[in-house]
Structure 1
Amino acid sequence: MSLTALYQHIEQHEWVDIPEGWLQGRTIYGGLVAGMMMQKALITLADTGRRLLSCNVTFVGPVQLAPVRLAAEILRQGKSVTTIEVRLWQDDAVQSILLVSFGVPRESSIVVNQERIAPTFPEVETLKIAEHHPLAPQCFQQMDLAWVDGQYPCTASRKPDFSGWMRFNPLKHENRKMTEADLLVSMDMWPPGVLPMFKTMAPASSLTWTLTYVHPLQSNVHNWFKYKVFTDYAADGYATEYAHLWDDQDRLIAIARQTVTVFA
């Protein structure tokens, strides 16, 4: 099932079958879970005049390759901002929660342009797209990732963090206009910033994920994006990090902050 077909199914049904090809270990890739909930929120909003402002995802429990139920509620619809909560249910329990805010532009005298400038990367054609390692999560095949700096996961690096180019794999996804749901599906594909420090393969998973949407998407799913992650702190089995995403025109699209559980 393509993402387009999945989104259409979410629009028409309360219960949704998760497509194959998105496993992350024994559970479903968190980005797909977040993207499904975002699609449910967009359908519930039903207002193209209100743009995504921010969202927060809490991954309560593991989602299996089995049907899920998506339930959405508009918590408040004000003059400027609409706030929606989406819950993903499986096995009679809430497994993930999305809290998302949409808003309309408002007149304001306050203008600040201090956004993080996009780094200068080598042309992606000069880089090697990361090959899918047999032990890597199945979901990595859905994206093309090309490291620019930093080390690969599980290479015993002395330092965390990395940057690189990313896009949906053209062999698995038809080219079309990118949506906010696609943004969540794709941006979570990069591993946590501390993973290069792992000496051997070991689990690490997102606990909470907060995303602030900056400039509206003007890209197709086959366009490349720039990504850079920075780890603030890691100890006692948890890490906190933030990441920036720019499109191929160097527009800042999103800023993400994440709490990661570390099992190494």
Structure 2
Amino acid sequence: MSLAQLYQHIEHNEWVEIPEGWLQGRTIYGGLVAGMMMHKAVATIADPQRRLLSCNVTFVGPVQLAPVRLSAEILRQGKSVTTIEVRLWQDDAVQSILLASFGVPRESTIAVNQERQAPDFPEVSSLKIAEHHPLAPQCFQQMDLAWVDGQYPCTASKKPDFSGWMRFNPERHDNRKMTVADLLVSMDMWPPGVLPMYKTMAPASSLTWTLTYVHPLQSSLHNWFKYKVFTDYAADGYATEYAHLWDENDQLIAIARQTVTVFA
């Protein structure tokens, strides 16, 4: 099942089958879970004039490769901003929650352009796309990732963090215009910034993930994006980090911040 087919099922059904190929260990990749909830939010609001402003995702529990139920409630629909909550249910329990705000453009005298500028990367054609390691999560095969700075996960690096190019794998995804649901699916594919410091294979998982949507997407699934992550702090089994995503024209698309549970 393609992502487009999955989105269609979400639009017309309360219960949805999760497609194969998205496992992250024994559970479903969190980016896919977030993307499913985002598409449910967009379909429920059903107003293309209201674009995503920001969203917060809490991964309450592990999602298995089994049917899930998506419920959505518009908490408030004002003149400019709509706030919506989406819940993903499995085994009669809430496993993930998305809280998102959508808004229409408003007149304002305030304009600030201080967003972080895109880093200078070598052409992606000169880099090696990361090969899928047999012990790496299955879901990594859905994306092409090319490291520019920093080390690969589990290489005992003395420092965290990395940057690189990313896109949907053209062999697994037909090209089409990218949506905000696709944005959530893709942006969470990079591992947490502390993973290069791991000395051996061990898990890490997102606990909360907040995304601010800056400039509207003008990209397709096969277009490349620049990604860079920075870890603020890590101790006592948790880490906090933020990441920026730019399109191939160096336009800032999104800023993400997450809390990560660390098992190493």
Match of 1:158 in 2: 158
Residue-by-residue CA offset, 1:163-209 (whole Å, 9 max, x unaligned): 00000000000000000000000000000000000000001000000
* Partner SS state of residue 39, structure 2: helix
Once residues 19 and 107 of structure 1 are traced to their aligned partners in structure 2, the CA distance between those partners, rounded to angstroms, is 42
State the identity as a percent.
Answer: 89
* Misfit runs of 4+, over 4 Å: none
Match of 1:148 in 2: 148
**AA of the residue aligned to 2:92:** D
Deviation at 1:257, TM superposition (A): 0.2
Match of 2:167 in 1: 167
Deviation at 1:51, TM superposition (A): 0.6
Aligned length in residues: 264
Once residues 46 and 39 of structure 2 are traced to their aligned partners in structure 1, the CA distance between those partners, rounded to angstroms, is 11
Residue-by-residue CA offset, 1:124-175 (whole Å, 9 max, x unaligned): 0000000000000000000000000000000000000000000000000000
Once residues 21 and 113 of structure 1 are traced to their aligned partners in structure 2, the CA distance between those partners, rounded to angstroms, is 40
State yes or no: 1:128 paired with 2:125. no
Match of 1:24 in 2: 24
Deviation at 1:36, TM superposition (A): 0.1
Match of 1:222 in 2: 222
Match of 1:70 in 2: 70
* Partner SS state of residue 166, structure 1: strand
* Partner SS state of residue 178, structure 2: coil
**AA of the residue aligned to 2:149:** D
* Partner SS state of residue 38, structure 1: helix
Q: How does 1:45-84 map to 2 (within 5 A)?
A: 45-84=45-84
State yes or no: 1:102 paired with 2:102. yes
Match of 2:12 in 1: 12
Match of 2:258 in 1: 258
Once residues 122 and 254 of structure 1 are traced to their aligned partners in structure 2, the CA distance between those partners, rounded to angstroms, is 21
Once residues 234 and 139 of structure 2 are traced to their aligned partners in structure 1, the CA distance between those partners, rounded to angstroms, is 25
Q: TM-score, normalised by structure 2?
A: 1.00
* Partner SS state of residue 11, structure 2: helix
Once residues 204 and 36 of structure 1 are traced to their aligned partners in structure 2, the CA distance between those partners, rounded to angstroms, is 21
Match of 1:246 in 2: 246
Match of 1:93 in 2: 93
Deviation at 1:251, TM superposition (A): 0.2
* Partner SS state of residue 107, structure 1: coil
Match of 2:35 in 1: 35
Residue-by-residue CA offset, 1:196-234 (whole Å, 9 max, x unaligned): 000000010000000000000000000000000000000
Once residues 191 and 143 of structure 2 are traced to their aligned partners in structure 1, the CA distance between those partners, rounded to angstroms, is 12
Q: TM-score, normalised by structure 1?
A: 1.00
Residue-by-residue CA offset, 1:89-144 (whole Å, 9 max, x unaligned): 00000000000000001010111010000000000000000000000000000000
Q: Give RMSD over aligned pairs.
A: 0.2
Deviation at 1:30, TM superposition (A): 0.1
Q: Which runs of 5+ in 1 are unaligned?
A: none
